[in-house]
A and B are shown apart, each in its own frame.
Chain A
Amino acid sequence: MSMPNFTIWLDRAPQILSSVVVLFVCATSIGESKSEVDLPPDLMERYEVLIAELRCPKCLNINIADSNAPIATDLRMVVKNQLQEGKTNSEIKAFLRDRYGDFIDYNPPLTPATLVLWAIPVVLLICAALTFTYIGSRREKVELSDEEKARLQRLKVQGPS
């Protein structure tokens, strides 16, 4: 019984080896991202949330957690230092928005420009509702004459002839 099992393992050696390599690479990269800063667990949790929500000003559409740009590293340090100084999340975000603009925040505050984004879906929904009510009201207006009603009745009973 043990021999066939052994050959199966041998046949699959390349797959097993590559899985081990992939797992190893993943494990080390996770280790690396954690080792950059050393914070107590509660601050670490907020740190990870913040760097995921802050956008790298240098690169297009990537947060400062994932960016390798030097400025992203600097901003991660800013976040870390301010967390250690006891600043709140919103204070840290306000500090960076003050310097880099609303662009830096993936969760931007409500301004006239962002209000448009919030309003568009609502406006579209209202338009759709109005359109459907309009179409619906048109349909109801079609009324059959007595002659047509009689014909419809005949068709219902006898089927088309």
Chain B
Amino acid sequence: MVSHKRNVAPLRMALWLPLVAFVGLCIVFFASLEFSPRSELPSPLIDRPVPTFSLPELQSVSVMTSDDLPEEAFLLNVWATWCFPCREEHPVLMDIAAEGIAIVGLSYKDDDSKAIDWLNSIGDPYRLNLVDRDGEFGVDLGVYGVPATYLIDSERTIRYKHIGPISSSQWRQKLAPIFKSLQAVDEHA
């Protein structure tokens, strides 16, 4: 009888294992519900070249291709007049442009005349204004919401994607350092 009991004791302890595992899983699941950034998809375009395009320029309507992109590191900002957060982001873009940073604007699924009015009335932060009327280039860029901003190096490789409007603090704390590192690579080369 004594030997029998000795065998059973560790098994008794093991009976608690499923409960412990269950509670552990609950904690993991609840934590991931709270903390995982579900609204942002990782983009497969990171470290890949900007997709080739031929798109009209907003004001002149002349056709632009990848060759017309800036030769230094730049931002590609996807925006629209119907996009409410874009209005919030606009002054930040003006500040970034004032620092001498090249920004390419992509007017996304918008009315051209509304886009031109917007730039004329509240300012044009863009060095180049491209038009994607039906969102086809947007699909190539993996855009699923506006605004979206891509950080692109002088080799025209996409290095970072920011989803949603850029706030001035996000620019200062997160995006500007990344962008500076892209510029720094050019200076050393």
Residues of A within 8 A of B (CB): 57-58, 60, 69-71, 74-75, 78, 97-101, 103, 135, 138, 141-142
Contacts and interface: CB of A to CB of B under 8 A. Distances in A.
A99 B44 contact: yes
Contacts of A78: 139
Contacts of A60: 38
B144 interface: yes
Nearest to B138: A74
B72 interface: no
Interface residues of B, number: 20
Nearest to A138: B7
B11 interface: yes
A99 B148 CA distance: 14
Given A57-B41, A98-B44, A101-B41, A138 B11 contact: yes
Given A74-B139, A75-B139, A100 B144 contact: yes
B44 to A, nearest CB: 5
Contacts of A71: 135, 143-145
Contacts of B141: 99
Tell me if A's interface is mostly helix, strand, loop or mixed.
Answer: helix
Contacts of A69: 144
Given A78-B139, A142-B7, A101 B42 contact: yes
A82 B28 CA distance: 41
Nearest to B142: A99
B87 interface: no
A101 B145 contact: no
A105 B11 CA distance: 44
A98 B51 CA distance: 11
A118 B141 CA distance: 31
Nearest to A100: B142
Given A71-B144, A75-B139, A100-B142, A142 B42 contact: no
Nearest to A71: B144
Nearest to A141: B7
Given A58-B144, A71-B145, A101 B7 contact: no
B43 interface: yes
